[in-house]
Amino acid sequence: MSSSLWFQGQVQAALRQAGGPLLLVRGEGSRVWDDRGRAYLDARSGVWAVTVGYGRPDVAAAVHDQLRRLSFAPLTDAASPVAVDLAARLAAVLPGDLTMVALVPTGSEAVDTALKFARLYHYAGGRRRRRIVISREYATHGSTYAGASLSDPDRGLLRGIGAPISGIRFVPAPYRYRCRFCADGPACTLACAGAVEEAIAREGPDRVAAVIAEPVPGPGGVLVPPDEYWPRLRAICDRDGILLVADEVITGFGRTGRWFASDHWQAVPDLMILGKGMTGGYQTLGAVAMRRHIAERLDRRLIPHGFTYSGHPAACAAALACLRIVDEEGLTVRAATEGARLREGLRRALAACPIVGEIRGLGLMVAVELVEDRGTRTPLRLKARDLDRVAQDLRDRGVLAFVDNPVILAPPLVITERETDDLVEAAAAAVLALGARLPAAR
Ligand SMILES: Cc1ncc(COP(=O)(O)O)c(C=O)c1O
């Protein structure tokens, strides 16, 4: 197919597939259909965004009604009632005293905004030396320059582009299966949290503005931290007056089985970054939620900051509709139960598969980590053509997934028991088929 559309997956999807890129034309519930009428269970939720499912007339109607009433209201010197309502609704579901909400168009712009706010907060408080931001290995914080700079350099988001923005430092993330500190030990030692403390001590506590982290890094491999990790980060930041920033772009709005992943550990961050699932994929919207005293201090040092499409009324209407559905349909609970069903099903189906090292997750974020050898945990390094073959095999079995190592499954929160079982069957079959294709030594 010849087209003028440039898109990220082009190289992988279009060039390698004889039939050209997948053209998705319709969606309903957890499924999407391509232009040839084939259905797929979308275990990518678009890109981690689809929560309440595709094709919901109630969300479409909310957007439609809003567009007919008022199609634009700039968040400069005016606001729309939906933006005001959304901020109030968010404040009601956000943990602790995260009661002030800045709306932006996307998750990446929310990351940029949070970074600027964190530095500005200290500047406005007279602590102008506080510029350093501590991020973590395996992090993904988006594609803008700040988001890419805060992401693990190994993810290649700045490859060929140049230096990251200044003042970013990286520390290890909790990754129990491959922890450099305690993977071989009987229990987690929380040395990864200690690494944050050490980095702060190294830089000088009075030079550190913030620590930013995804509660459960998704694209980085669905790395679920030990229960003590977030409370410990909270305590470390509190001790030195450092802001704790949780990037819940992926984990927010029910995906992990709670409204926000931070709710699992009762560690309220100072700033929370939101996006994706807030509108269930129906519109583009991001947000930075903050504690009131932070917003009040920023008010003293206002800088020009905003985006034309910040808090677009149609996006706010979609978000309000989705929040209502997540609430009314109990989708946080559904994410928890179906996530557990998915993990248990995969564990049963793949118990004897020698290339499966670990199956882990929280709610509907599930990773199947592949190894050469279960004993040594040597990662299975797959060539691009192996990965394409797995992706194609999954498609042939009616599933779209994030195919890499680990293979990641993150279906919409409306997935039914029956669909979860179908997903287990297809994903396990594709992994078993991969194992069978690899040389016997593996
Ligand atoms: C944790 C996290 N933060 C931020 C972003 C950026 O969000 P967006 O793609 O909406 O700009 C992503 C994107 O995948 C993400 O995973």
3-state secondary structure 405-424: CCEEECCCCCCCHHHHHHHH
The structural architecture, per CATH, of the domain 58-328 is: 3-Layer(aba) Sandwich (3.40)
Single out the residue of 119, 115, 233 nearest to residue 174, CA to CA.
233
With a 6 A CB cut-off, is 214 part of the ligand 1 pocket?
Answer: yes
Degrees, nearest 5: CA angle 197-203-206: 90
CB distance 140 to ligand 1 below 6 Å: yes
Which pLDDT score, from 0 to 100, does residue 78 have?
85
Spacing of C-alpha 442 from chain mean position: 32
**Residue pointed to by tokens 């990286």:** 170
pLDDT of residue 349: 98
Question: Residue 315 is which amino acid?
Answer: A
The whole-number pLDDT of residue 144 equals 96
Q: Is the CB of 412 under 6 A from ligand 1?
A: no
SS3 of 371, please?
strand
- C-alpha distances out from residue 260 to 78, 162, 215, 252, Å: 29, 34, 9, 5
* Ligand 1 near 249 CB (within 6 A): yes
Q: pLDDT (tens digit, 0 to 9) for every residue of the chain, 442 residues total? A: 456 777 665 545 544 454 567 899 999 999 999 999 999 999 999 999 999 999 999 999 999 999 999 999 988 888 899 999 999 999 999 999 999 999 999 999 999 999 999 999 999 999 999 999 999 999 999 999 999 999 999 999 999 999 999 999 999 999 999 999 998 888 899 999 999 999 999 999 999 999 999 999 999 999 999 999 999 999 999 999 999 999 999 999 999 999 999 999 999 999 999 999 999 999 999 999 999 999 999 998 888 899 999 999 999 999 999 999 999 999 999 999 999 999 999 999 999 999 999 999 999 999 999 999 999 999 999 999 999 999 999 999 999 999 999 999 999 999 999 999 999 999 999 999 999 998 754 4
Place of tokens 């700079």: 149
Q: Which two tokens stand for residue 3?
A: 């087209």
Residue 302: how many other CB atoms lie within 10 Å:
9
**Residue closest to 96 by CA, chosen among 234, 286, 287:** 234
**What number does the ligand 1 atom closest to the CA of 218 have?**
16
Q: Which CA distances in Å does 402 have to 85, 171, 276, 405, 408? A: 35, 26, 16, 9, 5
Pocket test for ligand 1, best of 111, 145, 214, 365 (most atoms within 8 A of CB): 111
Q: For the domain with range 10-55+330-437, which CATH number is right: 3.40.605.10, 3.90.1150.10, 3.40.920.10, 3.30.70.20?
A: 3.90.1150.10
Kindly give the distance from the C-alpha atom of residue 374 to the centroid of ligand 1, in angstroms, as a whole number. Answer: 32
Element (H, E) at 152: none
CA of 280 to the centre of ligand 1 (A): 14
Q: Whose CA is nearest to atom 5 of ligand 1?
A: 142
Q: Is the C-beta atom of 106 inside 6 A of ligand 1?
A: yes
Look at ligand 1, atom 3, and give the residue with the nearest C-alpha. Answer: 141
Closest C-alpha to ligand 1, atom 7: 107
Question: Could you tell me if 240 and 260 are in contact, meaning their C-beta atoms sit under 8 angstroms apart?
Answer: no
The answer, yes or no, to whether any atom of ligand 1 lies below 6 A from the CB of 108, is yes
* Residue 357 token pair: 């090292």
3 state SS of 198: helix
State the span(s) of the chain assigned CATH 3.90.1150.10: 10-55+330-437
Q: Is 142 in the pocket of ligand 1 (CB under 6 A)?
A: yes
Q: How far apart are CA 349 and CA 351, in angstroms?
A: 6
